[in-house]
Amino acid sequence: MGTKKRRKKKAAQNDFFILKLLVLVAVVLVIFEGRLVYTMFTHKSSPVSTASGLKDAPETESEGVLASASASHPRSSLTSEDTGAFPLAGLSAAVFVKSSGSDSQNTPKTEDPYRVSEEIDSLAVVKETSPAVDDSYFSDAVFIGDSRMQGFQNTSGITQGDFLTSVGLGTDGMSNQNISTPEGNISVYQGLSGKQYKKIYLMLGTNDLGYYPWESFKPNFTNVIEQFHKLQPDALIYICSVIYVEESKISTSYDNNENVSKINGYLLEVAEEKDYCYYINLNEIFTNGYGSLLEGASPDGIHLEAPYCQQMLSFLKSHYVPDSALSSGSARTANAPEDTEEPVSETETAQS
């Protein structure tokens, strides 16, 4: 009997222990679930990626992780190495979406602000014409100019046309500078006094950089053009632009591209004012894109190497004014404003 009583008492103690253990587990679960429910109702959710971007996150430690990750890892998503744990759901995608908006591939490319356009909106500028002509086009042409034009004569491969060139030729040397010809030394004006030409290619201005006060250059150049027209009334005058220079190879301060651009402005103005003149912008092919001569085009920064003179010849063959346009009068429209009749007053009408 005593043994049975002890077994019943021990069994009751075990049952009571199990009951207490169950109660303890239940209490722990209630407390945990209660805190979980409290957290769910008192805290916002973590940031997640949505179709429209990122939702706002609370000012908690997780927001600081997101901000620092976006700043220090703009091109990659967060990993466990970034946070010390696995990232929250959607966090890595959110960081990528946020950073990819500033990715250079998604940013519209803008033009280089330092590039200089060689496009000139003027009726006096010769445009590219098709088909290109051959050397026979220059059979009734004369080329006048300085040492740059001499280099063109000697190395371009041109086979037609006459040349009146001299080293150092400028606008003040038309009547006194000696031009070497098979018949002897003559001036430019003398060279234009005999044979009649249909085209005059003029390359002047390089030796006038820094020589004249700027206000004197245009009148002097205009006078030269007018003298040419008197001597060759049927000739079309192509005024070639002064080609850019490579300043790093030049010791003189006035041979610079700022002066080149300025003097070309005057050449263009004269071409626009004279309906028998046209402007050939050689810098379309000789620019480096930044208002300077192509690197390697010149040994001294001014005179062109032979391949570039050959390129100049190709340019002239594709930039010309067709004879058909000249004969029809459609090659050039007058730059002057249209004439308009002034209103006649009633008094004038009565007097007439």
CATH number for the domain spanning 265: value is 3.40.50.1110
Q: Which helix (H) or strand (E) holds 190?
A: helix 188-191
3-state secondary structure of 123: coil
Q: Which domain holds residue 88?
A: 12-99
Give the whole-angstrom CA distance, residue 303 versus residue 249. 11
Q: Are residues 153 and 85 in the same domain?
A: no
Give the whole-angstrom CA distance, residue 123 versus residue 110. 29
314 in a structural domain: yes
- Angstrom distances, CA of residue 222 to CA of 75, 239, 277: 62, 11, 11
Q: Is the Cβ–Cβ distance between 242 and 263 less than 8 Å?
A: yes
The whole-number pLDDT of residue 350 equals 39
* Pairing verdict, β 179-181 and 184-186: antiparallel
The whole-number pLDDT of residue 105 equals 46
- Angstrom distances, CA of residue 252 to CA of 160, 207, 264: 35, 12, 19
108-137 pLDDT per residue, tens: 445 778 888 889 999 999 999 999 999 999
Determine whether 147 is exposed, middle or buried from the number of CB atoms within 10 Å of its CB (0-12, 13-18, 19+): middle
Determine whether 137 is exposed, middle or buried from the number of CB atoms within 10 Å of its CB (0-12, 13-18, 19+): middle
Q: Which residue has the higher pLDDT, 281 or 75?
A: 281
3-state secondary structure of 322: coil
Q: Are residues 139 and 61 in the same domain?
A: no
Q: Confidence class of residue 274 from pLDDT cuts 50, 70 and 90? A: very high
Q: Are residues 152 and 56 in the same domain?
A: no
342 in a structural domain: no
Specify the pTM. 0.64
Q: Is the Cβ–Cβ distance between 315 and 282 less than 8 Å?
A: yes
Q: Are residues 162 and 289 in the same domain?
A: yes
When mean pLDDT is compared over 94-98, 167-171, 214-218, 314-318, the highest value belongs to: 314-318
Give the whole-angstrom CA distance, residue 310 versus residue 239. 19
339 in a structural domain: no
Q: Are residues 176 and 317 in the same domain?
A: yes
Percent of the chain with pLDDT over 90: 52
Q: Are residues 199 and 147 in the same domain?
A: yes
Number of domains the chain contains: 2
Q: Which residue has the higher pLDDT, 286 or 330?
A: 286
Sign of CA dihedral 208, 214, 218, 219: negative
251 in a structural domain: yes
Q: Which residue has the higher pLDDT, 324 or 167?
A: 167
Asked whether the predicted pLDDT for residue 279 surpasses 60, the reply is yes
Residue 171 makes CB contacts below 8 A (sequence gap 6+) with 204, 205, 208, 212, 217, 220, 221, 224
68-81 pLDDT per residue, tens: 333 333 333 333 34
Q: Are residues 87 and 146 in the same domain?
A: no
126 in a structural domain: no
Please state, rounded to an integer, the average pLDDT across all residues of the chain: 76
The whole-number pLDDT of residue 178 equals 83
Give the whole-angstrom CA distance, residue 19 versus residue 143. 118
108 in a structural domain: no
Tell me the sheet residues that pair with 293. Answer: 287
Query: What's the distance, CA 193 to chain centroid?
Result: 45
Please state the φ and ψ torsions of residue 135, each to the nearest 5 degrees.
Answer: -65, -25
69 in a structural domain: yes
The whole-number pLDDT of residue 328 equals 62
- Angstrom distances, CA of residue 79 to CA of 75, 86, 99: 13, 6, 16
Q: Are residues 199 and 139 in the same domain?
A: yes
Q: Are residues 160 and 69 in the same domain?
A: no
The whole-number pLDDT of residue 48 equals 38
113 in a structural domain: no
**Domain boundary, last residue among 99, 127, 143:** 99
Q: Are residues 303 and 164 in the same domain?
A: yes
**Domain boundary, last residue among 99, 114, 147:** 99
Q: Are residues 94 and 164 in the same domain?
A: no
Q: Is the Cβ–Cβ distance between 238 and 200 less than 8 Å?
A: yes
Q: Are residues 194 and 253 in the same domain?
A: yes
* Pairing verdict, β 199-203 and 236-240: parallel
Percent of the chain with pLDDT over 70: 64
Please state the φ and ψ torsions of residue 141, each to the nearest 5 degrees.
Answer: -115, 155
